[in-house]
């Protein structure tokens, strides 16, 4: 079984994430959407809200599992017997950042990182932009799945 972990904070999940996940499903038998927990980070949405947004978005997709984890992504991958880490790239800056992490992960384990380019119509979307739009009362309907509920 080809199992991949797609790690992120998903604060909140965006249509860019959704694009990568849907396309990743064509490559892997199972994709674990792994919500990383970082006690030092301030999130707009609680861990439960983020998990619920994702579970609802993929409720009809049996190849997806939604889990949370703390610590190193490679350790989580080993625990889940995942051979791959799935990551999305929006721009050259993402590539440089993700390349360094991928090299480090590869040095620490046998886990390969697979990069997918975000579809061109979604490449500008980031969770930080979505949070800024939300903070300023804007409409995020074209940026996030319908399952993301704004308070």
Residues with active-site annotation: 17, 41, 90, 127
Whole-number Å distance between alpha carbons of 66 and 99: 25
- Any idea which residue has 């978005």 for tokens? 57
| Backbone phi, psi, residue 100, to 5° | -65, -40
Residue in 146, 145, 88, 85 with CA at minimum distance from that of residue 120: 88
């Amino acid at each position: 079984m080809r199992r991949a972990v797609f790690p992120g904070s998903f604060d909140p999940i965006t249509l860019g994430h959704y694009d990568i996940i849907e396309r990743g499903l064509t490559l892997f038998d199972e994709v674990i959407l792994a919500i990383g927990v970082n006690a030092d980070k301030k999130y707009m949405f609680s861990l439960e809200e983020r998990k619920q947004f994702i579970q609802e978005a993929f409720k009809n997709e049996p190849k997806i599992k939604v889990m949370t984890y703390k610590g190193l992504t490679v350790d989580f991958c080993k625990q889940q017997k995942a051979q791959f880490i799935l990551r999305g790239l929006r721009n050259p800056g993402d590539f440089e950042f993700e390349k360094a992490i991928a090299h480090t992960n590869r040095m620490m384990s046998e886990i390969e990182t697979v990069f997918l380019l975000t579809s061109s119509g979604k490449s500008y979307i980031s969770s930080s932009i979505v949070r800024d739009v939300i903070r300023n009362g804007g409409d995020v309907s074209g940026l996030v799945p319908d399952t993301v509920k704004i308070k």
